[in-house]
Structure 1
Amino acid sequence: MDIRKFFKSFKYAMNGIIHAVKSEQNFQFHLVAGVVVIIAGLLTGLSKWEWIIIVMLISGMFMIELVNASIERVVDLVSPNFHQLALQAKDLAAGACLVHAICSATIGLIIFVPKWWGILF
């Protein structure tokens, strides 16, 4: 294994994350939302397992947003003119982000609401 190539791959990955933070509006929104959820979790006093779930949901949202952005870039590259399949590919990737966001928000409500208002689920 070439150790220089290995560490260069981290550089490329960081470049992708930095690009998303700077240029992807939805990534920026989810970054802010993640920070808000972490602050809410610190103030609420989540258990270890609740933190594990929250971290998985937040990181999963970041991952799916990165995949969505990369799919959009590739589709734009290979299909610069409008094509129905290109539109569907981009819509499907965006749909994956929406599904994860809705699931994350639902799980967040299941975790936080009982702690804030004493409601049992």
Structure 2
Amino acid sequence: MQDERLKNKNFIDSWKKAFSGIWYSIKTQRNLKVQLVIALVVIICAIYFKLDIIECMFLSFATMLVIITEVMNTAVEEAVNLTTDKFHPTAKIAKDVAAGAVVLASLNAVIIAIFIVIKNIF
């Protein structure tokens, strides 16, 4: 049976908890702060260079994917830290795999950005 303290009372309560998790990630994760600054730079560049709607959609998706994977990485790290405070090879694997997902999302974003830059230069 689920602990009643963990259940959301209503829709607004669930959104408050979700934003609390996002805010926790922003406060505690240096890389997420860097990624948010990069996202802001991407938005500014997209506006400045007058990218078309499709290019903006690709950049938006790629940028948000990086941010989403970083937030999920934070969740994995916190869950692993909850289960053990000692080194364990499986805990290391879980953290490394989650971090790897962030790296893959970041590479995807860079590749998309390169394609868009090349298309607009040539």
Same structural fold, with TM-score higher than 0.5 when normalized by the shorter chain:
yes
What is the distance in 2 between the residues matched to 1:31 and 1:62? 7
* Amino acid corresponding to residue 71 of structure 1 in structure 2: V
Aligned to 2:94: 89
Counterpart AA for 1:20: S
SS at match of 1:82: coil
Matches within 5 A, 1:1-121: 5-115=10-120, 117-118=121-122
> In 1, distance between residues paired with 2:86 and 2:24?
24
1:54, CA displacement in angstroms?
Answer: 1.1
Give distance in 2, aligned partners of 1:12 and 1:57.
25
User: Across the two proteins, how many residue pairs are aligned to each other?
Assistant: 115
Could you tell me the percent identity over the aligned residues?
29
List 4+ stretches of structure 1 deviating above 3 A. none
Deviation readout 1:85-106 (Å, 9 max, x if unpaired): 0001000000010011011111
After superposition, give the CA deviation of every residue in 1:24-51 in whole Å (9 maximum; x if it has no partner).
1111010001001111111111111111
Q: Structure 2 length as normaliser, TM-score? A: 0.89
Extract unaligned runs of 5+ from structure 2: 1-7
Stretch deviating more after TM superposition (78-87 or 14-23): 14-23
Structure 1 gap ranges (5+): none
How far 1:113 sits from its partner (Å)? 3.0
